Structure 1
Amino acid sequence: MQLILWAAIVVISVALDQISKYIVVLKLKPVGTADFINGILGFSYVENTGAAFGMMKGFRWVFIVLSTVAIIAIGIYLVKCRKKVPPLLGISLAMIVGGGIGNQIDRIANGFVVDFLEFQFMDFAVFNIADCFVTVGAFLVLIDILFVNRNLFSDGRDSGEGKDKKSAGNPADKAS
């Protein structure tokens, strides 16, 4: 059941990203910019040859290879470990995969990624829906690891595993 949910998240995120980019190319590319919420959020058509938020322009093939490896690795992890993957972590990784695929489609098909969302109230890079999925997914992975499933990567050495349960918490046993 988890695999179906994760696959749905990937499909929905790719669809939202690609549909939004299609509309942007059709409607926004000819005009360049448009206000959405004046002074807060606007649309600006940008052909980004770099990574997320316009970083490292000109490394297209590096991004294609690294993104492909990351997408495949996360996909294999989700499939092979599906019974052990905590719910929030699975959802987060599916968001990252969906966003990665959305931008990967652009990089391979066009040689650039279409970015169009722009915060007007601060100096910030223009970005797209796929970037949002990757960023929110990465943030949720951190939340999951730091707060929800703090022992996710623990090997059990400091958790009391392997000790006699009666003596594990008895201060008198530690004194002897």
Structure 2
Amino acid sequence: MKYYLLSFIIVIVDQLSKYLTTAYIELGEQVEGLPGLLSITHIHNTGAAWSILEGQMWFFYIVTVIVALMIIYYMQQTKNQPLLQTGLAFILGGAVGNFIDRLLHQYVIDMIQLDFIDFPIFNIADMALTVGVILLFIQYIFFDREEKESKEN
């Protein structure tokens, strides 16, 4: 249950950050945060990362629902693996956060811009998705392999 709470908190923080961005920063406006490191730039993204599959909302709806259902199922099957559960919770929260935007607006609100590198503008949900995937890789690389090796010996 605590992992679903984590997903819920991610969705709330993501949606709150998007609300504040749209309420206080004009579309296309850039507000300096940490000089040379980070700024807040309000944009709309009708695609996925790097605007791929731009405008394909039905695709995103279908994929997000399928992925969310698979994550929920998998979370129920792996209750004794906290790192895996945490990674899945982050992915679920990020996917739902961006899904809400797509349903409500037909685009995703992005705002976090890294000024020291040429990188796409992103949001809290994107960060959660990234953290979740990293945690899954850590689980697979360090823990699943150890478990398989110990079973083989």
TM-score interval, normalised by the smaller of the two chains: over 0.9
Q: Distance in 2 between matches of 1:78 and 1:120?
A: 36
Q: Distance in 2 between matches of 1:50 and 1:118?
A: 17
- Would you say the 8 A contact 2:11–2:93 is kept in 1? yes
Structure 1 residue runs of 4 or more that deviate by more than 3 Å after TM superposition? none
- How far 1:82 moved relative to its partner? 3.9
Offset at 1:56? 2.3
Q: Paired residue for 1:125?
A: 120
Aligned length: 153
Structure 1: distance between partners of 2:124 and 2:42: 13
Q: Which residue number in structure 2 is paired with residue 50 of structure 1?
A: 47
**Structure with the greater alpha carbon radius of gyration:** 1
Q: Alpha carbons of 1:100 and 1:30: their partners in 2 closer, same or farther (altered >3 Å)?
A: closer
1:95 aligns with 2:95: no
Distance (Å, rounded) in 1 between the aligned partners of 2:38 and 2:79 = 41
**Using the alignment, how far apart are the partners of 1:32 and 1:142 within structure 2?**
36
Inter-partner Cα distance in structure 1 for 2:65 and 2:89: 14
Q: Distance in 2 between matches of 1:76 and 1:122?
A: 38
Aligned-residue sequence identity (percent) comes to 33
Structure 1: gaps (5+ residues): 161-176
Name the one with the larger helix percent.
2
Structure 2 stretches of 5 or more lacking a match?
A: none
CA contact (8 A) 1:47 1:113 kept: yes
Q: Secondary structure at the match of 2:12?
A: helix
Q: Which of 63, 66, 71 lines up with 1:69 in the alignment?
A: 66
In the superposition, the TM-score normalised over structure 1's length comes to: 0.81
Name 1:113's counterpart in structure 2. Answer: 108
Q: Partner amino acid for 1:83?
A: K
The one-character-per-residue Cα deviations of 1:94-152 (angstroms, maximum 9, x if unpaired) are 00000000000000110000000000111100000000000011011001110133256
User: In the TM superposition, what is the alpha-carbon distance from 1:31 to its structure 2 partner?
Assistant: 6.8
Comparing 45-54 and 116-125, the one that deviates more: 45-54
Q: CA RMSD in A?
A: 1.9
Distance 1:30 1:159, change over 3 A: closer
Helix, strand or coil at the partner of 1:107: helix
Q: Do residues 36 (structure 1) and 40 (structure 2) align? A: no
SS in 1 for 2:152: coil
What TM-score, normalized by structure 2, do the two folds share?
A: 0.92
